[in-house]
Chain A
């Protein structure tokens, strides 16, 4: 059991908010200024702005170093692009997207016009309802990636939480499942991919499936890799319910369903959300690799295509994608953190 709980350390759901408010107090110079609502508001703004000074300095220093050092590295595609080139590629990606948007709008307008003309001419058979089929633009690829990870992560949560609860509540089942979890957990997505690909290809045989094959494959690989943190943390959460609370349940003779919904789930909730946050982080990392190999039209495929493309802008485009991947991962983590602190609310005694 001990090994299963090893992950608890970085999954500690409690946050220490009890530190004295001394650091956030306005600086003494401002506190001594003649009292008035204006000076305190100003003081708070200054105090708030101070929190951002050092992060901004750090980012600026990094960009500076990048700009200086990148041109020194020579590759077959020219020197490594600096921040300016990468930003330029960001803009050009945006332009490509808006160009695609207008051509799409034009396509539909044209189609509608020709349809209207056909109907007016008394020729309803000539009405055509084609979908626009231009190449996916960068935002489309980001969206596909988000959808893939959402499906994989959703499936993983649906599977991991019940199994985790069962593990947490029964020592025997935990003992039976724990070795499997420990062995499956470190397996890389690249190892799962061929297996998943073969199975899914055998199962999805229709020429026009509901979900594209590559999409399902990537999502399943994400699921297989992001299952474990949620499972382990849920098991810990269910196993570490306060003994006295369980005794309260026994005194009240709660039935198993009431016990589950009113006692076990609520008290395991902070752990479950901690696990889900870790899972989503893993899922997002795994996704890029899975998409590269499964050719799912997402960010991973974008990076791969640019690599194969090998034009002079490719490196800058890949770097831009890397930055976007980082920002999305950060955003997902922050969103999960907010959910997590919501789940943590009212749980500390």
Chain B
């Protein structure tokens, strides 16, 4: 590195003055050098000041102190040498794809002729793979396509540096993977300097030459940086077997865990759980128990030829077909597959929230036909009543399930589970004042506090950034280890599926989705994330799931993305 860096940040600081006059320091001296043609990923978690940093580099925001040098010259406001892609696409909805890109071309290349500019627009639109959709309006595009337009618009300025501000975090996993490939291709073709802000370790490792970790708020600075020496091209499956990747991934995960050490969860509960059973879970008479015992342990939950048909304007559409699964009592199954494959449909049918077209689901010898507190659900959105406190939210369910328990006992149940999920200090906080991670903790507490026969988790951590997600996975593992409730979890995240489950059930793509493959996860419990990341078996399982997902990497979602 004897050449001058194309971009260098020297002690960049920024603070905001709050309404109450308090000053919060967001960036506390960022130092970073980026050399020409390099791909740097800045890894940080929500609220760490990533967007502030990238806005400062883009020139949209003036730092309080420090300087940002572009080829040795201090920057002065936004310029066409730095193209920015926002997290929320920020396209003009009344313009076509081409017109959106043309806007940037016209602004950035006033010296070019009309024909030249039109050619440039065509080239950039084709570069992001949208040649067929150039005449469409943003409203007619999927999220992935919109983000492609945004990338094309940024590239149309022919910037020297491309700044990507969490461009993929609003997209689902499959689309995200496709766009990651796309970014890699653009990097290769255009050979530009790219700075990517992300909260996803795998994304950073897949794409970047160097990963710089931003320490958590407040007063963020660059913590450690990691050089990613994995040879390109990097395939997801091939990388999984790469020892260097495994090692680096563990290093970064450990480092992030250290940074996050302050907010550990699952402190020991001061409140013992009172010994009351929900009314409808109270043991049946002795004679009945003797008669029923044998069957119920091993075929506790049974899906039999489950089928779901949705009527559509173009005729009935079979989403799920011939779904058969037997689960033992106390088993944890994760359901994984591409988006739109009907995972959530299966889950909502098991919850009784969605009617069953044919076939059946039998839980503990009773057919599921209506929703109820014995089939607790953790939704993707936390779905708390924002006007109630954490305790009231959990109590709402506890009152329904334990109407026969004393008031003090019910209170103890609520407190017990809130402490289990690490909210001992925030029991009386309103849900509206909580962060998303805290809300989902309440959602988990609410579900467990119902003492359900069956726990259903519908992508419970899908909306959280990865650090919060890890925290909550640990919380879930911890609470589940104590209760051993039969559970099904729908997820997109391979690591999550393996970490939590006894079996990973992989679904084929819809329509007519069914079970493609079942993977038995034979890892000792209780499981620990760090230990798992060193276990060769874990990478073996990961490989199997990744391979399955790659095999089914097509279908309706592929066309749309």
**A and B found bound together:** yes
A-side interface residues toward B, CB under 8 Å?
20-21, 24-25, 40, 44, 242, 244-245, 247-248, 250-254, 262-263, 266-267, 269, 345-349
Check A346–B432 contact: CB distance below 8 A: yes
A251-B351, A252-B397 known; A245+B385 contact, CB < 8 A: yes
Partner of A245, one of B18, B19, B375, B383: B383
Whether B387 is near chain A, meaning CB under 8 Å from some CB there, is: yes
Q: Report Cα–Cα, A108/B533, bound state, in Å.
A: 93
Check B379–A248 contact: CB distance below 8 A: yes
Partner of A242, one of B18, B383, B387, B430: B383
Q: Report Cα–Cα, A254/B19, bound state, in Å.
A: 41
Whether B400 is near chain A, meaning CB under 8 Å from some CB there, is: yes
CB distance from A28 to the nearest CB of B (A): 12
Check B386–A346 contact: CB distance below 8 A: yes
A21-B16, A263-B385, A266-B387 known; A251+B430 contact, CB < 8 A: no
Whether B17 is near chain A, meaning CB under 8 Å from some CB there, is: yes
Partner of A266, one of B376, B383, B385, B450: B385
Q: Report Cα–Cα, A346/B17, bound state, in Å.
A: 24
> In residues 431-458 of chain B, which contact A (Cβ within 8 Å)?
431-433, 439, 450
B386: which A residues are within 8 A, CB to CB?
Answer: 346-349
A252-B400, A348-B386 known; A244+B16 contact, CB < 8 A: no
Check B387–A253 contact: CB distance below 8 A: no
Please name the residue on chain A nearest to B348 by beta carbon.
Answer: A247
B426: which A residues are within 8 A, CB to CB?
Answer: none
Check A252–B396 contact: CB distance below 8 A: yes
Q: List 27 A-B contacts (CB under 8 A).
A: A24-B17, A24-B19, A40-B21, A44-B21, A242-B381, A247-B353, A248-B379, A250-B353, A250-B371, A251-B353, A251-B375, A251-B376, A252-B373, A252-B397, A252-B400, A254-B400, A263-B385, A266-B387, A267-B387, A346-B430, A346-B431, A346-B433, A347-B386, A347-B432, A349-B382, A349-B384, A349-B386
A250-B353, A262-B396 known; A244+B383 contact, CB < 8 A: yes
CB distance from B385 to the nearest CB of A (A): 7
Please name the residue on chain B nearest to A263 by beta carbon.
Answer: B385
Whether B377 is near chain A, meaning CB under 8 Å from some CB there, is: yes
Q: Report Cα–Cα, A262/B431, bound state, in Å.
A: 15
Task: Count contacts on B: residues with CB < 8 A to the other chain.
Answer: 31
The 0/1 profile, CB within 8 Å of A marked 1, for residues 384-419 of chain B is 111100000000110010000000000000000000
Check B432–A253 contact: CB distance below 8 A: no
Whether B372 is near chain A, meaning CB under 8 Å from some CB there, is: yes
Q: Report Cα–Cα, A234/B133, bound state, in Å.
A: 42
CB distance from B479 to the nearest CB of A (A): 18
CB distance from A271 to the nearest CB of B (A): 14
Check B387–A346 contact: CB distance below 8 A: yes
B379: which A residues are within 8 A, CB to CB?
Answer: 244, 247-248
Partner of B16, one of A20, A242, A251, A252: A20
Check A248–B400 contact: CB distance below 8 A: no
Please name the residue on chain A nearest to B443 by beta carbon.
Answer: A248
A20-B16, A21-B17, A349-B432 known; A247+B387 contact, CB < 8 A: no
B373: which A residues are within 8 A, CB to CB?
Answer: 251-253
CB distance from A110 to the nearest CB of B (A): 58
Q: Report Cα–Cα, A266/B377, bound state, in Å.
A: 22
Please name the residue on chain A nearest to B371 by beta carbon.
Answer: A250
Residue of A251, A252, A263 contacting most chain B CB atoms (<10 Å): A251
Q: Report Cα–Cα, A251/B453, bound state, in Å.
A: 13
Please name the residue on chain B nearest to A248 by beta carbon.
Answer: B383
Check B372–A253 contact: CB distance below 8 A: yes
Q: Report Cα–Cα, A347/B384, bound state, in Å.
A: 11
Q: Report Cα–Cα, A345/B373, bound state, in Å.
A: 29
CB distance from A127 to the nearest CB of B (A): 58
A247: which B residues are within 8 A, CB to CB?
Answer: 353, 371, 377, 379, 383
Q: Report Cα–Cα, A250/B353, bound state, in Å.
A: 8
CB distance from A68 to the nearest CB of B (A): 41
> In residues 325-383 of chain B, which contact A (Cβ within 8 Å)?
351-353, 371-373, 375-377, 379, 381-383
A267: which B residues are within 8 A, CB to CB?
Answer: 385, 387
Q: Report Cα–Cα, A99/B448, bound state, in Å.
A: 73
Q: Report Cα–Cα, A21/B19, bound state, in Å.
A: 6
CB distance from B124 to the nearest CB of A (A): 32
Residue of B16, B352, B379, B431 contacting most chain A CB atoms (<10 Å): B379
Please name the residue on chain A nearest to B376 by beta carbon.
Answer: A251
Task: Identify the 7 closest CB pairs spanning chains A and B, nearest first.
Answer: A244-B383, A346-B432, A250-B371, A346-B387, A266-B387, A244-B379, A252-B400
B351: which A residues are within 8 A, CB to CB?
Answer: 251
Please name the residue on chain B nearest to A244 by beta carbon.
Answer: B383
Q: Report Cα–Cα, A267/B387, bound state, in Å.
A: 8
Check B371–A251 contact: CB distance below 8 A: yes
Check B385–A253 contact: CB distance below 8 A: no
A347: which B residues are within 8 A, CB to CB?
Answer: 386-387, 432
Q: A251-B373, A251-B375 are in contact. List 5 more A-B contacts (CB 8 A).
A: A44-B21, A247-B379, A252-B396, A253-B371, A346-B431
Q: Report Cα–Cα, A252/B384, bound state, in Å.
A: 13
Check B371–A262 contact: CB distance below 8 A: no
B433: which A residues are within 8 A, CB to CB?
Answer: 346
CB distance from A98 to the nearest CB of B (A): 44
CB distance from A294 to the nearest CB of B (A): 41
Check B385–A262 contact: CB distance below 8 A: yes
Q: Report Cα–Cα, A242/B385, bound state, in Å.
A: 10
The 0/1 profile, CB within 8 Å of A marked 1, for residues 16-50 of chain B is 11110100000000000000000000000000000
Q: Report Cα–Cα, A346/B433, bound state, in Å.
A: 7
CB distance from A283 to the nearest CB of B (A): 28
Check B385–A348 contact: CB distance below 8 A: no
CB distance from B441 to the nearest CB of A (A): 15
CB distance from B217 to the nearest CB of A (A): 16
Q: Report Cα–Cα, A165/B466, bound state, in Å.
A: 41
Q: Report Cα–Cα, A347/B386, bound state, in Å.
A: 5
Check A251–B432 contact: CB distance below 8 A: no
Please name the residue on chain B nearest to A250 by beta carbon.
Answer: B371
Q: Report Cα–Cα, A248/B382, bound state, in Å.
A: 10
Please name the residue on chain B nearest to A25 by beta carbon.
Answer: B17
A245-B383, A251-B377 known; A348+B432 contact, CB < 8 A: yes
Q: Report Cα–Cα, A229/B371, bound state, in Å.
A: 36
Check A251–B19 contact: CB distance below 8 A: no
Q: Report Cα–Cα, A248/B376, bound state, in Å.
A: 9
B17: which A residues are within 8 A, CB to CB?
Answer: 21, 24-25
B387: which A residues are within 8 A, CB to CB?
Answer: 266-267, 269, 346-347
B375: which A residues are within 8 A, CB to CB?
Answer: 251
Please name the residue on chain B nearest to A253 by beta carbon.
Answer: B372
CB distance from B538 to the nearest CB of A (A): 33
B19: which A residues are within 8 A, CB to CB?
Answer: 21, 24
A254: which B residues are within 8 A, CB to CB?
Answer: 400
A251: which B residues are within 8 A, CB to CB?
Answer: 351, 353, 371-373, 375-377
Q: Report Cα–Cα, A20/B382, bound state, in Å.
A: 27
CB distance from B394 to the nearest CB of A (A): 11
Q: Report Cα–Cα, A40/B17, bound state, in Å.
A: 13
CB distance from A163 to the nearest CB of B (A): 23
CB distance from B398 to the nearest CB of A (A): 10
Q: Report Cα–Cα, A25/B23, bound state, in Å.
A: 11
Please name the residue on chain A nearest to B432 by beta carbon.
Answer: A346
A250: which B residues are within 8 A, CB to CB?
Answer: 352-353, 371
Please name the residue on chain B nearest to A347 by beta carbon.
Answer: B386
Please name the residue on chain B nearest to A348 by beta carbon.
Answer: B432
